[in-house]
């Protein structure tokens, strides 16, 4: 298996072997962060632009640190500071950045497919750091990496993702990655936020929390956004929490070694009880640690295919 | 076109000779072998076997992947896949013997020295190779050499052990799986 | 007196249910008996097909306001190349055609620069904003043939009712873009499997069907003509089928793209697949085809919507809706519907001639002697790949580049004058 892409846009595009190559590579990069010197010269002389057209803290920090540990030069562009506000098109803005001899663009954007669109017009590499509700491949990779590290495999595992699936790029990218690697995927949440259409690609869809978590090896709890409430998708976060929040009692009925995950940031005691978030089954902070390793791996592999 | 430089049958003797030279150097206790991926790893195991046979004591082994320290990212068509680095001991103040199959340009060893440096501060570093083809691009020389050969630059040397199939040491044209992209 | 004799033609004339081999004469801009011509210019069609000139009731010419995308002149040339001899110009220009002056401007430019007949359409409401009724009587006096707020839909049902009632006295048909804005919810593609997989905001079928149902109820109550633009859903086709059976004065159109493409096309985020109504599911596409085949949808209209390359070269969410269609309509429909054996040629020609003529109240749209010689010559045997580089339209926003089709427009005549003679 040889990595051959200058862009990482969505896990949907990747073969299972490519996903596994990223995970294997990430395992080696994880060791780098555990060393005395937490840095390698792999991307020395390369310039990476973190272009975030949507606010983000944890993903941006994770990418930034990953780039630093690979010895890349980094430029951060925030939407508010960019010329997008002056009416320049996204493509013109990115082309101008590329003209500064940039090797990689890490982009977050609210429009699905924005990265796929610019990647078609650029020679530099493009990494999708989240495009609307469409995809967030590095988040899914770090989730899958964490599961594989903890449980030793992906194939045959029952992975349940609970929450606002409709608006979740994390759920979609996880779904593609997990299905490709042979896991059984369940989506659960209120009927307004969990489209039945996912059944058509082999996902089990349920609106019942107990049914969703029975037999699960992993539960990934998504952040519920208050703004969905004002748009009429559910009555209140209180009611959401009552029917779909993961609490101590529910956890007791689940497999004893079930992994509890969350992409963050957590609404404590809304989708996830504090005691569960901080409990023995939680791997939430390990997800963050692994995110760094996965992003280093992706940056390294993609950079290797950018010809300059 | 492939030429046989050394048959599989000759290799154990040459490896034993390297092992004996290392033994004769009388390194302080705790000296370790660090095999560089890919073929340096099986070679280091064989040298350790030979040292153990000669002295009854087996030096500790480590594996090192130098991909993250290469100087040609983006210049080749593909990057090599990163393999496992496993250094199961503290390298500070220890004598390390880097082990690789072929000493060619010296760039791999340069990368390995950089990598080692990020893990700690060894007391001393030595280099053992099966083949020294004698056209270094960097001022790097091996301390323990199985065999020196002279080859034109357009030929490459390939070492294969039993587990790789069709064992032996060959030279062949540079039809590299990681060809250099013309700038 | 200019005379033309079209020899060795296959004459397909839906109004008279004719599909015969023969010759067709033109004298003084009108259709004449071949035997009565004195010294005609003879054109041997060698078996090519002659049909009445196509009518497109749904075209955006972009002038005034966005002449970088299209002008009346280039839009008319594109129409001629597509076999259309009359086109209805949608009023959502900038400024909108919601007053007599705007209509007079359109008519004067069209008379000067247009090679086909440009039939003006006026807004139903001022600025097409759906708030106050436009001066419909003055628009009629200025020469509009229909009313539409296309691109938008009057959400206030009481206002819509008044517009239809008022328009009835002036005998102006309503061409309505059916979309409930709240249900459409800022969507950019069809709500269904693909919007769910892609994480894009969907426009539900219900948002279209709700307004089709509303219009059917109003048409029944007021007894006046409401034409549903670009019907794209199975539910919409079924509502229309039922209403038409009951004699309600409603008609509907389908676009070539809703007959040939589905929402799956959006998966690579190519903005040339973004239109409103959106490309729907395969089931919807089949229902729209069934509607065209059985006549529930009596009109094929292009919704020719030119946009500059710049406007479409953006993120999918931010791209404008719409594609051009005049120069690809016949070939796409002929390939999809007739060459595939789903309907006879004469019915397809009807959907592009007598169907739209009926919506506009044009009587006897046929190749009968004495009628105006607006006609189109088709080379049905010609197979080719669509090449946007050859378009007369100023715009290139089509997803059909490279598509293999059959059926080429060979010649277009308006008032007996050749305005397009093939490429």
- The DSSP string of C176-201 is E----HHHHTT-SEESSHHHHHHTPP
Asked if A59 is an active-site residue, the reply is yes
Q: What angle do CA A59, A63, A65 make, to 5 degrees?
A: 120
CB contact under 8 A, A116 and C196: no
Sequence length of chain B is: 183
CB contact under 8 A, C315 and A113: yes
Nearest-10 crossing angle of helices A137-151, A58-69: 80
Q: Judge whether C285 and C393 are in contact, CB under 8 Å.
A: no
pLDDT tens-digit profile of C136-166? 999 999 999 999 999 999 999 999 999 999 9
Minimal C-alpha gap between A35 and chain B (Å): 7
CB contact under 8 A, A113 and C198: yes
Residue A39 burial (CB count, 10 A) = 15
Q: How many CA atoms lie within 13 A of B80 on its CB side?
A: 18
Minimal C-alpha gap between C198 and chain A (Å): 5
The answer to whether residue A24 neighbours chain B at the CB level (below 8 Å) is yes
- pLDDT at position B71, please? 79
Domains of chain C: 3-49+371-420 (2.30.40.10), 53-360 (3.20.20.140)
Nearest to B68 among A27, A40, A308 (CB): A40
Q: CA–CA separation, A190 vs A209, rounded Å?
A: 9
Residue A85 pLDDT greater than 90, yes or no: no
Mean pLDDT calculated for residue range B17-33: 95
- pLDDT at position B179, please? 47
Residue B157 lies in a domain: no
Give the confidence band of C192 by pLDDT, cuts at 50, 70, 90.
Answer: very high
- pLDDT at position C329, please? 98
Residue B158 lies in a domain: no
Residue A271 pLDDT greater than 80, yes or no: yes
> What tokens were used for A238?
């209180």
Short-list B65, B69, B62, CA closest to B30: B62
Could you tell me the pTM of the whole model?
A: 0.93
- pLDDT at position B182, please? 40
Residue B175 lies in a domain: no
Residues of B in contact with A297 (CB under 8 A): 82
Residues of C in contact with A135 (CB under 8 A): 199
Q: Are strands C404-414 and C417-420 parallel, antiparallel or unpaired?
A: antiparallel
Give the confidence band of B177 by pLDDT, cuts at 50, 70, 90.
Answer: very low
Residues of A in contact with C264 (CB under 8 A): none
Q: CA–CA separation, B59 vs B15, rounded Å?
A: 15
SS3 C126: helix
pLDDT tens-digit profile of C245-269? 999 999 999 999 999 999 999 999 9
Name the percent of chain B in helix, strand, coil, to the closest 5.
Answer: 25, 30, 45
List, in order, residues 6 or more apart from A242 with CB less than 8 Å away: none
A residues 56..85 contacting C (CB < 8 A):
none
For an interface test with C, give the residue of A88, A117, A201 to mutate (most C CBs within 10 A). Answer: A117
Q: Judge whether C375 and C36 are in contact, CB under 8 Å.
A: no
A208 class by beta-carbon count within 10 Å (0-12 exposed, 13-18 middle, 19+ buried): exposed
List, in order, residues 6 or more apart from C181 with CB less than 8 Å away: C153, C155, C207
Q: Judge whether A47 and A67 are in contact, CB under 8 Å.
A: no
Short-list A221, A232, A304, CA closest to A8: A304
Q: Which is more confidently placed, A80 or A66?
A: A66
Q: What order of strands is seen across the sheet that includes strand A218-221? A: A204-206, A184-188, A158-162, A218-221, A259-261
- pLDDT at position A84, please? 64
Phi, psi of A184 (to 5 degrees): -95, 120
- pLDDT at position C340, please? 97
Give the confidence band of B151 by pLDDT, cuts at 50, 70, 90.
Answer: confident
> What tokens were used for C108?
């004067």
- pLDDT at position B183, please? 34
* Ordered alpha helix ranges (H), C82-204: 100-113, 136-142, 157-169, 181-184, 193-198
Residues of C in contact with A198 (CB under 8 A): 196-197
Domain that holds residue B39: 9-66+82-152
Name the percent of chain A in helix, strand, coil, to the closest 5.
Answer: 45, 15, 40
Give the confidence band of B134 by pLDDT, cuts at 50, 70, 90.
Answer: confident
Domains of chain A: 7-136+289-303 (3.40.50.1370), 137-287 (3.40.50.1370)
Nearest to A42 among B73, B81, B120 (CB): B73
C359 sits in which H/E element: helix C354-360
Give the rounded percent of residues in chain C with a pLDDT score beyond 90: 99
Phi, psi of C118 (to 5 degrees): -100, 115
pLDDT tens-digit profile of A187-196? 999 999 999 9
Short-list B25, B96, B70, CA closest to B178: B70
Q: CA–CA separation, A219 vs C221, rounded Å?
A: 56
Beta strands in C14-67 (DSSP E): 18-27, 30-32, 41-44, 49-52, 54-59
Q: A40-66 burial by CB neighbour count: b if 16+ within 10 A, else e?
A: bbbbeebbbbbbbbbebeebbebbbbb
Nearest to B73 among A3, A36, A304 (CB): A304
Q: Which is more confidently placed, C303 or A83?
A: C303
Residues of A in contact with C200 (CB under 8 A): 112, 132-134
> What tokens were used for A32?
């780098």
C212 sits in which H/E element: helix C205-222
Q: Are strands B155-160 and B144-148 parallel, antiparallel or unpaired?
A: unpaired
Q: CA–CA separation, A147 vs B148, rounded Å?
A: 49
Mean pLDDT calculated for residue range A20-32: 97
Sequence length of chain C is: 423
pLDDT tens-digit profile of C340-373? 999 999 999 999 999 999 999 999 999 999 999 9
Nearest-10 crossing angle of helices C157-169, C205-222: 40
Q: Output the domain CATH number for residue B115.
A: 3.40.50.2020
What is the 3-class SS of A31-42, one letter each residue? HHCCCCCCCCCC
Residue A236 burial (CB count, 10 A) = 10
The answer to whether residue A86 neighbours chain B at the CB level (below 8 Å) is no
Q: What angle do CA A127, A296, B98 make, to 5 degrees?
A: 140
Residue B178 pLDDT greater than 80, yes or no: no
Q: CB under 8 Å, gap of 24 or more: what pairs does C133-136 form?
A: C133/C159, C133/C162, C133/C163, C133/C166, C134/C98, C134/C99, C135/C98, C135/C99, C135/C100, C136/C163, C136/C166, C136/C167, C136/C170, C136/C172
Phi, psi of A262 (to 5 degrees): -160, 130
Residues of C in contact with A172 (CB under 8 A): 197, 199
Q: CA–CA separation, A68 vs A48, rounded Å?
A: 10
Residue B80 pLDDT greater than 60, yes or no: yes
Minimal C-alpha gap between C321 and chain A (Å): 15
Q: Judge whether C295 and C254 are in contact, CB under 8 Å.
A: no
Give the confidence band of A55 by pLDDT, cuts at 50, 70, 90.
Answer: confident
The domain tally of chain B equals 1
> What tokens were used for C319?
């791209």
Per-residue CA distances from C224 to A227, C151, C163, C211, C242 (Å): 44, 22, 11, 16, 17
CB contact under 8 A, C318 and A197: no
Q: CA–CA separation, C149 vs C142, rounded Å?
A: 18
- pLDDT at position B175, please? 57
Residue B166 pLDDT greater than 90, yes or no: no
Q: Which listed residue (C13, C56, C263, C303) is catalytic?
A: C303
- pLDDT at position A82, please? 56
Q: CA–CA separation, C66 vs C79, rounded Å?
A: 18
- pLDDT at position C1, please? 63
Closest-CA residue of chain A to B65: A28
Q: For residue C228, list its beta bridge partners.
A: C176, C252
pLDDT tens-digit profile of C27-36? 999 999 999 9
Mean pLDDT calculated for residue range C284-303: 98
Residue C124 pLDDT greater than 90, yes or no: yes
Residue A160 burial (CB count, 10 A) = 25
- pLDDT at position B180, please? 47
Residue A237 burial (CB count, 10 A) = 18
For an interface test with B, give the residue of A3, A42, A308 to mutate (most B CBs within 10 A). Answer: A42
Rounded to the nearest integer, the mean pLDDT of chain C is 97
Short-list A69, A12, A2, CA closest to A295: A69
């Amino acid at each position: 298996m040889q990595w051959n892409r200058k862009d990482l846009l969505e896990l949907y595009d990747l073969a299972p072997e490519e996903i596994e190559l990223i995970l294997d590579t990430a395992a080696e990069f994880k060791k780098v962060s555990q060393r005395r010197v937490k840095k390698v010269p792999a991307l020395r002389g390369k310039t990476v632009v973190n272009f975030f057209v949507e606010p983000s803290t944890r993903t941006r920090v994770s990418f930034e640190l990953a780039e630093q540990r690979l010895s890349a030069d980094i430029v951060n562009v925030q939407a508010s500071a960019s010329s997008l506000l002056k009416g320049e098109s996204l493509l013109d803005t990115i082309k101008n950045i590329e003209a500064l001899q940039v090797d990689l663009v890490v982009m977050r954007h609210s429009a699905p497919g924005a990265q796929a669109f610019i990647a078609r017009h650029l020679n530099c590499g493009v990494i999708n750091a989240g495009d609307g509700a469409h995809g967030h491949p590095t988040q899914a990779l770090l989730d899958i990496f964490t599961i594989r590290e903890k449980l030793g495999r992906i194939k045959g595992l029952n992975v349940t993702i609970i929450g606002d699936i409709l608006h979740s790029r994390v759920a979609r990218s996880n779904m593609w990655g997990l299905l490709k690697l042979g896991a059984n995927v369940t989506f659960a949440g209120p009927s307004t936020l969990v489209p039945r259409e996912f059944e058509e690609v082999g996902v089990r869809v349920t609106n019942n929390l107990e049914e969703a978590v029975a037999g699960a090896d992993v539960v990934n709890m998504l952040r519920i956004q208050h703004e969905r409430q004002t748009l009429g998708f559910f009555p209140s976060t209180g009611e959401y929490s009552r029917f779909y929040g993961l609490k101590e009692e529910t956890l007791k009925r689940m497999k004893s070694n079930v992994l509890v995950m969350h992409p963050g940031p957590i609404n404590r005691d809304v989708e996830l009880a504090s005691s569960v978030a901080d409990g023995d089954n939680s791997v939430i902070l390990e997800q963050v640690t692994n995110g760094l390793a996965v992003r280093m791996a992706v940056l390294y592999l993609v950079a290797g295919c950018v010809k300059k | 076109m492939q030429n046989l430089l050394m048959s599989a049958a000759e290799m154990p003797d040459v490896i034993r000779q390297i092992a004996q030279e290392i033994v004769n150097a009388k390194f302080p206790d705790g000296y370790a072998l660090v095999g560089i991926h890919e073929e340096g790893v099986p070679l280091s195991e064989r040298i350790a076997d030979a040292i153990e046979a000669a002295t009854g004591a087996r030096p500790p082994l480590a594996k090192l992947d130098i991909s993250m320290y290469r100087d040609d990212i983006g210049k080749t068509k593909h990057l090599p896949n990163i393999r496992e680095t496993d250094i199961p001991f503290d390298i500070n103040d220890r004598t390390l013997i880097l082990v690789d199959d072929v000493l060619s340009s010296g760039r791999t060893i340069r990368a390995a020295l950089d990598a080692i440096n990020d893990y700690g501060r060894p007391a001393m570093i030595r280099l053992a190779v099966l083949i020294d083809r004698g056209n270094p691009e960097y001022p790097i020389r091996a301390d323990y050499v199985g065999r020196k050969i002279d080859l034109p630059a357009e030929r490459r040397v390939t070492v294969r052990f039993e587990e790789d199939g069709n064992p032996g040491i060959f030279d062949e044209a540079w039809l590299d799986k990681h060809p250099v992209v013309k700038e | 007196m200019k005379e033309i004799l079209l020899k060795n033609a296959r004459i397909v004339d839906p109004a008279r249910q004719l599909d015969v081999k023969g010759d067709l004469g033109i004298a003084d801009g009108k259709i004449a008996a071949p035997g009565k011509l004195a010294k005609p210019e003879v054109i041997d069609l060698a078996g090519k097909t002659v049909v009445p000139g196509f009518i497109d009731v749904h075209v955006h010419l972009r002038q005034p306001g966005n002449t970088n995308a299209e002008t009346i002149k280039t839009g008319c040339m594109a129409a001629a190349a597509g076999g259309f001899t009359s086109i209805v110009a949608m009023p959502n220009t900038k400024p909108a055609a919601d007053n007599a002056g705007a209509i007079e401007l359109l008519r004067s430019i069209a008379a000067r620069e247009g090679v086909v007949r440009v039939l003006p359409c006026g807004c139903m409401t001022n600025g097409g904003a759906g708030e106050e009724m436009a001066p419909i009587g003055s628009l009629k006096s200025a020469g509009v043939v229909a009313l539409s707020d296309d691109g938008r839909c009057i959400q206030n049902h009481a206002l819509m009712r008044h517009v239809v009632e008022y328009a009835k006295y002036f005998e102006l048909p309503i061409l309505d873009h059916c979309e409930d804005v709240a249900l459409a919810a800022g969507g950019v593609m069809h709500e269904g499997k693909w919007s769910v997989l892609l994480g894009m905001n969907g426009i539900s079928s219900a948002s279209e069907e709700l307004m089709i149902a509303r219009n059917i109820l109003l048409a029944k109550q007021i007894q006046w003509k409401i034409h549903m633009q670009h019907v794209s859903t199975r539910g919409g086709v079924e509502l229309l089928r039922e209403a038409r059976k009951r004699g309600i004065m409603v008609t509907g159109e389908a676009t070539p793209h809703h007959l040939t493409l589905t929402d799956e096309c959006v998966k690579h985020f190519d903005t040339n697949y973004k239109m409103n109504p959106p490309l729907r599911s395969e089931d919807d596409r089949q229902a729209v085809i069934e509607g065209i085949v059985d006549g529930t949808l009596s009109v094929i209209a292009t919704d020719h919507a030119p946009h500059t390359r710049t406007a479409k070269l953006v993120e999918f969410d931010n791209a404008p809706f719409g594609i051009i269609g005049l120069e690809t309509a016949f070939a796409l429909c002929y390939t999809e519907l007739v060459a595939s054996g789903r309907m006879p040629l004469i019915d397809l020609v009807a959907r592009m001639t007598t169907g739209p003529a009926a919506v506009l109240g044009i009587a006897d749209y046929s190749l009968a002697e004495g009628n105006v010689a607006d006609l189109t010559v088709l080379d049905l045997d010609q197979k080719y790949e669509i090449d946007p580089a050859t378009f007369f339209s100023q715009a290139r926003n089509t997803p059909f580049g490279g598509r293999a089709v059959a059926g080429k427009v060979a010649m277009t005549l308006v008032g007996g004058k050749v305005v397009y003679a093939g490429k």
